[in-house]
Every structure is written in structure tokens, then in C-alpha cells.
């Protein structure tokens, strides 16, 4: 088993003729928690699409367990970016989690006890076992994110891709969810990539940061990437990284004289 | 027809007529098929697409009448072609209300032209638009049974992947589900289900069997299989009661089916929440509003 789960060499991504970002080099090992940060449209979700095999790289190579990404890889658990679940969706949470485990099975057959138990265990692992029989449509944003996380974890993946799970959450629920993801990463040795706009709540948990901006990608420890030098090189304009006494960062574009708070 | 207000005697009197037997046989098959297919239509928010099928089918049915073949074949042809076209445009077409509205208005106009050119009776157009139980022959019942069985077998075969793709499209796609295949098969199944349902309720009242029972059932259960069973029961009650009442009154059967179906919806939507046992929903929200964790 290779030590690196995900390896990219000179990776480039884009659509048709347009390159979104290029020359990305990184490797992520087992049990790492990585934040993927950058402005809207920088290509963060594109990275997830590459890893999921939904899109092909436009250059370089990307490997998961030494093999190119493929659609339907059971080693990956995915929580896509979702804004809302319609309040009319009266389907119990347990059903969604069970489908996350065996939704690909053809035919009309009831879920087995084994599938049921696995789904309940996944819900329990995210502290949402009491929501098993609740309707998806009535859940709060924080509760929904837990259900989606359980759906992603139920097949026991090695890699977890979380696309903006913190959007629409208040500060309390944001902190709760991040603690939960961190627990999952540490206890299950899962490698988690989490797309977010605000890096500050993530900083206490992170092993690495992937900063995507201006068609380029910077990857490393937070202390290496979140520096004025690193981000100035990335953005191509003078950028200053300010830190408060608690370690929170603010990123300021100096020449433009307006802040780009991340 | 005189009603005796003796349910058994009245039923026997009605059952004496072969056209009513055919109507009940076809109606039963249609209620089962529409109740099941309707659940996925509601879950996938494809109600407007289903309505579009029926109106595209209308043009096909009117065209069939014009050239002298049974309207059901024109309906099937029209709605299947419409289904393939919509499936080819992709799942996100369900959100393109404007484009679908434009196409269905055009096809309705086309159907009107066919009916206008047709020199026979205007009742043909009326029966396609609003349903006509009197015209269901034994061969129509057999045809309905054959298509009904095909739809039920196909839905049983793709049940779980279709449920997954309908409920959580993005995760299903990432898990490698054949989304285009599922979307196309589902659209074809809806097209055929709409075509056979039109015999009873007509093009314009298709929602009463395809949408209302499933939407009503969703308020009564959270497990898809339970919702489907309740949806079928509501569709069956609406169809059987509608046929029975219409037999003893001078009013059209589709009016009674839509009214019974709608009454179920109103009762479940507004009366049921007041009378159901007051079960507190399970919650993992603690007293200060945060979600309990395992820490």
C-alpha cells in the first residue's frame, strides 16, 4: 500500500480550451485533513471532479492509490455542495444513508439487516442516530450536513471530499461540524479534503492547506502557505497576511486597498 | 340508471355492463401504474414534464384519429418521442419550465389542427382531452395490461438506483450510476404510463392519477415503499369510486376521479396534521440549541 493516497504531478484542470489552473504538485497521505481555499470560480470543485473521475485532467497526472481516478470509486466518500433540501422531501434520513451504501444494487429488494445496521452505525458515528427516522425536509442545515456525512462514511471510504459543508451554518454548528470531521479523520485514518471560504475556523484542525487562485495552486502546511510571500506569488499582486493574537488570519490585497478576507 | 343505495346491489347492476368491467379492469391497472410511477415523478420534481408528455401525446392521438388508427397508438408514439427528446436534453431539463411550456403549447396547437382537419366527430378530441371510459374495449384492456406489466417490471428492475438518483443526483453520479440511462428509461416509462392513463382521465387531468396520489402519500409516510403503497391505494380508491359514482350520475368519470383525488390531498394536507397522534419528532438538538455529539 503506497504511503500517499493522492498524488498530483504538474496537474492542470479546465474545460475544453480553458485552463482553470495548472502546474499543481501535491501528495496527501492517509489521515490528513486538508482545506481547499480560494475565491469563487478558482477551480476548487473542479479538483473534486477530477478526483471523482467525473472530469479528466487537461495536463499532468493525478493518481489515487497509484491508479488514475475513476468514476464510482468506493474508496471516496463525497458530500457535494448543496444549498437546501426542499421541505417537501419527506424521506427518512436512514433511507438516504442506506442508499449511500447500496444504492447501486439493481432490482427491487428490501435492505438487508447488514445494510440497515451499517447505515445506523454511520448515523451514530456522526451523532445523528436519533434523526434516523426523521424526514430530510425538516432538518436544519447542521443536521443535514451530518446526514450527508453519514451517507459519505457508510461505505467506509479512505478519502472524504466535502464541498463547502460549512455554508449556511451558523458559527456554533460550523464549529460542531469541524470537530466532527476532525474526529472522523483522526479516528478512522481518513484523508479529508474540505472546500471552504473562511479558513479561520479550520486552522486548529488542519494538516495542510491547498490555496487555489489566479490559475495556480499552492499546497503545504498552513504556516507555509498562509504567508505574505506565498500568497503574493500565488495572486501575482502584493498580498499581506495579518494574524491576530489567536492565530486567525486576514488576507489583504495591498495594491488594491481592499481586503479579501478568507 | 337508478341507484338503490344498496352498495352490493348497485355494484352488481353496474358490473352487469361489459364496458364497466373493461373500465374497472383498465382503471385498476392504470391506478397501480400511475400510483407507482407518480412517486418518482413527484420525487424528481418532474410533474410539469409528465404534463408535457400528455400534451405532446395529444398531438399524436389527434394525428392517429386523423389517419384512422386507434388514438392510444398515437399517444404512445407522441409521448415516447417527447420522452426521448426530453431525456436527451438531460435531467436538468426538468427545470426548463419555459422551454417545455413553449413546446407543449405548440404540440397542443398541432393536435387542435389535426382534430380540426378531421371530419369525424368532435367527441374524439373531447375523449382524448378528458378521458372516455365507454370506449375501452377488451383489446384496450389487454394492451393496457401489457404496457402496465412492462412498466412495473422495469421499475422493479431499476428501483433502487432510480430512487438513489432521484433523491441524491450528485452523489449517485459520483458513485458511477448510469445517470443518462436511468433518466432515459424513467422518461420512457412515464411516457407510456401517461399514455395508458389518458384513456381514463384524459390528457388534461393526468395529474389526478400521476401526481396527486403520490404527493398526498408523501405526507403520510417517510419510507419510499410505504409511500408507493399508499399512493397506489389512493389512486385505486379514486378510480374505483369515480367509475362507480359516474355510472349512476350524468357527469364525467374524470371529474369524480380528480375530485376524490383532490379531496384526499386536502384531507391529508390540512386535516390529518390536526388529528394525527402527537408524536414529538426525534431530535438530537440539546437544550441550548446545539447538536449533540459523541464527544
Residue A161 included in any domain: yes
- Mean per-residue pLDDT for B231-241? 96
Report yes or no: A103 at the B interface, CB cutoff 8 Å. yes
ipTM: 0.88
DSSP state of B270: I
Sign of CA dihedral B40, B42, B44, B46: positive
Lowest mean pLDDT: which of A194-198, B137-141, B258-262?
A: B137-141
DSSP state of A130: G
Contact A80 B170 (CB under 8 A): yes
* Option in B161, B218, B295 nearest A106 (CB): B161
Task: Check residue B122 and give its pLDDT.
Answer: 62
E strands present in chain B:
none
- Tell me which of B146 and B66 has the higher pLDDT: B146
Shared domain check, A150 and A33: no
Grid coordinates representing B238 are: 379514486
Sign of CA dihedral B66, B68, B74, B75: positive
CA nearest neighbour of A96 among A79, A109, A72, A113: A79
Report yes or no: A125 at the B interface, CB cutoff 8 Å. yes
Q: Do A151 and A96 contact (CB within 8 A), yes or no? A: yes
Report yes or no: A99 at the B interface, CB cutoff 8 Å. yes
Q: Do A178 and A185 contact (CB within 8 A), yes or no? A: no
A26: β partners: A8
Buried b (16+ CB within 10 A) or exposed e, A157-169: bbbbbbbbbbbbb
Shared domain check, A161 and A70: yes
User: Which residues of chain A does B280 touch, with a Cβ-Cβ cutoff of 8 Å?
Assistant: none
CB count within 10 Å of CB A182 equals 17
Shared domain check, A92 and A67: no
- Mean per-residue pLDDT for B102-116? 84
- Tell me which of B287 and A32 has the higher pLDDT: A32
Helix (H) or strand (E) holding A33, with range, is strand A33-37
Task: Check residue B96 and give its pLDDT.
Answer: 63
- Tell me which of B67 and B96 has the higher pLDDT: B67
* Option in B175, B219, B290 nearest A90 (CB): B219
Shared domain check, A199 and A177: yes
Q: Shortest Cα distance from A81 to chain B (angstroms)?
A: 9
d(CA A172, CA B288): 11
- Tell me which of B108 and B289 has the higher pLDDT: B108
d(CA B294, CA B287): 16
Residue B15 included in any domain: yes
Residue A231 included in any domain: no
Range of the domain at A23: 1-75+157-223
Shared domain check, A101 and A143: yes
d(CA A48, CA A45): 5
Percent of residues, chain B, with pLDDT higher than 90: 41
Residue after which a domain boundary falls, among A132, A156, A180: A156
Select the residue from A108, A128, A157 to test the B interface by mutation, using most B Cβ atoms within 10 A.
A108
Strands in A216-220's sheet, in edge-to-edge order, are A76-79, A159-163, A191-196, A33-37, A208-213, A216-220
Q: Do A225 and A209 contact (CB within 8 A), yes or no? A: yes
Whether A260 has a pLDDT exceeding 60, the answer reads: no
Residue A211 included in any domain: yes
Percent of residues, chain A, with pLDDT higher than 90: 61
Shared domain check, A91 and A64: no
Shared domain check, A22 and A71: yes
Q: Do B295 and A178 contact (CB within 8 A), yes or no? A: no
Q: Do A222 and A206 contact (CB within 8 A), yes or no? A: yes
Residue B145 is part of a domain; what is its CATH number? 1.10.3470.10
d(CA B38, CA B147): 16
Residue B292 included in any domain: no
Shared domain check, A36 and A51: yes
Residue B295 included in any domain: no
* Option in B158, B163, B291 nearest A146 (CB): B291
Q: Do B69 and B118 contact (CB within 8 A), yes or no? A: no
Shared domain check, A181 and A89: no
Residue after which a domain boundary falls, among A99, A126, A156: A156
DSSP state of A53: T
Residue-wise pLDDT tens digits, B167-189: 998 999 999 999 889 988 998 99
Number of domains chain A is built from: 2
CA nearest neighbour of B147 among B183, B187, B194: B194
Whether B258 has a pLDDT exceeding 90, the answer reads: yes
Residue A65 included in any domain: yes
Residue A243 included in any domain: no
User: pTM to 2 decimals?
Assistant: 0.86
A31: helix, coil or strand? coil
Residue A187 is part of a domain; what is its CATH number? 3.40.50.300
Shared domain check, A71 and A2: yes
Residue A252 included in any domain: no
A20: helix, coil or strand? strand
Residues 6+ apart with CB under 8 A from A116: A94, A98
Shared domain check, A105 and A56: no
- Tell me which of A108 and A11 has the higher pLDDT: A11
Residues 6+ apart with CB under 8 A from A226: A199, A209, A211, A241, A249, A251
User: Which residues of chain A does B165 touch, with a Cβ-Cβ cutoff of 8 Å?
Assistant: 103
d(CA B64, CA B57): 10
Grid coordinates representing B29 are: 391497472
Range of the domain at B162: 7-269
Residue whose C-alpha cell reads 474545460 in the numeric block:
A15
Report yes or no: A107 at the B interface, CB cutoff 8 Å. yes
Report yes or no: B273 at the A interface, CB cutoff 8 Å. no
Residues 6+ apart with CB under 8 A from B254: B130, B131, B200, B201, B202, B205, B208, B242
Residue A257 included in any domain: no
How far CA B292 is from CA of A3, A62, A138, A140, B137, in Å, comes to: 35, 38, 17, 13, 62
Residue A14 included in any domain: yes
* Option in B175, B292, B295 nearest A103 (CB): B175
Tell which B residues from 209 to 238 touch A, by Cβ distance under 8 Å: 218-219, 221-225, 227
Number of domains chain B is built from: 1
Q: How far is CA A55 from the centre of its chain?
A: 17
Task: Check residue B291 and give its pLDDT.
Answer: 41
* Option in B164, B218, B291 nearest A103 (CB): B164
Contact A105 B292 (CB under 8 A): no
Shared domain check, A70 and A19: yes
Amino acid at each position: 500500500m503506497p504511503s500517499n493516497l493522492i498524488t498530483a504531478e504538474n496537474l492542470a484542470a479546465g474545460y475544453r480550451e480553458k485552463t482553470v489552473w495548472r502546474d499543481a504538485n501535491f501528495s496527501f497521505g492517509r489521515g490528513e485533513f486538508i482545506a481547499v481555499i480560494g475565491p469563487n470560480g478558482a477551480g476548487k470543485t473542479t479538483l473534486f471532479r477530477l478526483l471523482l473521475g467525473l472530469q479528466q485532467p487537461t495536463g499532468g497526472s493525478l493518481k489515487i492509490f497509484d491508479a488514475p481516478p475513476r468514476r464510482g470509486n468506493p474508496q471516496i466518500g463525497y458530500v457535494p455542495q448543496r444549498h437546501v433540501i426542499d421541505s417537501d422531501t419527506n424521506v427518512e434520513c436512514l433511507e438516504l444513508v442506506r442508499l449511500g451504501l447500496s444504492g447501486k444494487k439493481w432490482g427491487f429488494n428490501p435492505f438487508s439487516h447488514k445494510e440497515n445496521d451499517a447505515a445506523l452505525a454511520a448515523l451514530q458515528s456522526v451523532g445523528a442516530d436519533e434523526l434516523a427516522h426523521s424526514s430530510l425536509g425538516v432538518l436544519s442545515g447542521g443536521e443535514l450536513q451530518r446526514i450527508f456525512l453519514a451517507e459519505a462514511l457508510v461505505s467506509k471510504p479512505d478519502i472524504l471530499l466535502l464541498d463547502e459543508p460549512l455554508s449556511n451554518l451558523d458559527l456554533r454548528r460550523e464549529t460542531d461540524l469541524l470537530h466532527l470531521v476532525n474526529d472522523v479523520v483522526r479516528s478512522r485514518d481518513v484523508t479529508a479534503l474540505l472546500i471552504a471560504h473562511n479558513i479561520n475556523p479550520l486552522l486548529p484542525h488542519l494538516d495542510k492547506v491547498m490555496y487555489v487562485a489566479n490559475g495556480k495552486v499552492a499546497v503545504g502546511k498552513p504556516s507555509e502557505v498562509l504567508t505574505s510571500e506565498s500568497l503574493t506569488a500565488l495572486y501575482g499582486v502584493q498580498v499581506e497576511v495579518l494574524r491576530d493574537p489567536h492565530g486567525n488570519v486576514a488576507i489583504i490585497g495591498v495594491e488594491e486597498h481592499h481586503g479579501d478576507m478568507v | 340508471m337508478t341507484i338503490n343505495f344498496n352498495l352490493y346491489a348497485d355494484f352488481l347492476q353496474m358490473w352487469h355492463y361489459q364496458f364497466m368491467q373493461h373500465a374497472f379492469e383498465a382503471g385498476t391497472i392504470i391506478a397501480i401504474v400511475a400510483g407507482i410511477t407518480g412517486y418518482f415523478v413527484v420525487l424528481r420534481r418532474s410533474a410539469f414534464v409528465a404534463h408535457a408528455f400528455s400534451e405532446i401525446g395529444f398531438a399524436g392521438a389527434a394525428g392517429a384519429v386523423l389517419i384512422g388508427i386507434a388514438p392510444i397508438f398515437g399517444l404512445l408514439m407522441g409521448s415516447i418521442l417527447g420522452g426521448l427528446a426530453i431525456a436527451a436534453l438531460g435531467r436538468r431539463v426538468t427545470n426548463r419550465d419555459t422551454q417545455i411550456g413553449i413546446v407543449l403549447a405548440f404540440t397542443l396547437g398541432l393536435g387542435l389542427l389535426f382534430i380540426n382537419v378531421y371530419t369525424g366527430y368532435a367527441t374524439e378530441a373531447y375523449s382524448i382531452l378528458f378521458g372516455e371510459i365507454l370506449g375501452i374495449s377488451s383489446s384496450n384492456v389487454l394492451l393496457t395490461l401489457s404496457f402496465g406489466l412492462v412498466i412495473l417490471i422495469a421499475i422493479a428492475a431499476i428501483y433502487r438506483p432510480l430512487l438513489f438518483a432521484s433523491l441524491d443526483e450528485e452523489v449517485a453520479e459520483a458513485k458511477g450510476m448510469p445517470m443518462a440511462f436511468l433518466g432515459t428509461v424513467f422518461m420512457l416509462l412515464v411516457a407510456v404510463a401517461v399514455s395508458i392513463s389518458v384513456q381514463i382521465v384524459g390528457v388534461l387531468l393526468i395529474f389526478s392519477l400521476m401526481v396527486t396520489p403520490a404527493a398526498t402519500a408523501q405526507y403520510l409516510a417517510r419510507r419510499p415503499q410505504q409511500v408507493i403503497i399508499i399512493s397506489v391505494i389512493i389512486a385505486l380508491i379514486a378510480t374505483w369510486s369515480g367509475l362507480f359514482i359516474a355510472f349512476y350520475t350524468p357527469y364525467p368519470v374524470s371529474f369524480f376521479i380528480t375530485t376524490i383525488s383532490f379531496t384526499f390531498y386536502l384531507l391529508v394536507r390540512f386535516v390529518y396534521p390536526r388529528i394525527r397522534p402527537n408524536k414529538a419528532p426525534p431530535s438530537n438538538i440539546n437544550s441550548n440549541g446545539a447538536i449533540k455529539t459523541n464527544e
